[in-house]
Amino acid sequence: MKAIGTLEISREGIAKAPKRNYQLRRSVALSAALIPIFIFSSATDAALYAAGVFPPLGQPMAGALFLLSLSYRVVYGAACCHWIVRLLVSGRATQCAAAFGVIGLAASTVIPVVMWDGGPAWYSLAVIAIVLPCACLGDSNQCGSTDVHNESMLSI
């Protein structure tokens, strides 16, 4: 393989980016993906509090409102995963979606544990449980697909 600038050309003549650039892009993309989810979820929470849909802070919230909160977190999680996988990490989409799910799982486990008394136990557990399905929803290749062109979710 011969290196030309930032491209490597194999014997077959196919140009590809060096592996280190891909790994750096993937690490930055996966870390950055959590920020919009947090921002969108927090902004939606604030808007719903301001609109009077959610009760004032410190007052108990009905179970249906926790379900509403969970539903837009699912949408934001899947949308951000899709955005990261498609726009920032063009190769190995399923692997990146799975890695994003694992990183999100770690973050989503810490937050409910710290804020356990902030709502019903089912909500805290549901926030943790939705992370990996959201990552698979965000990957339009469908995590674990049997298509030979898709990467296995297990080969992170």
Handedness of CA 47, 53, 57, 61 (dihedral sign): negative
pLDDT in tens, 78-125: 888 888 777 665 566 777 777 778 888 888 888 777 877 778 888 888
CB neighbour list of residue 87: distance below 8 Å, 6 or more residues apart? none
Q: What tens digit of pLDDT does each residue of 33-55 get?
A: 788 888 999 999 999 999 999 99
Residue 63 reports pLDDT greater than 80 = yes
Q: Which of 15-24, 46-55, 56-65, 109-118 has the lowest mean pLDDT?
A: 15-24
> What does the pLDDT read at residue 47?
97
In this predicted structure, what is the pLDDT of residue 82? 81
Which pTM does this prediction carry? 0.67
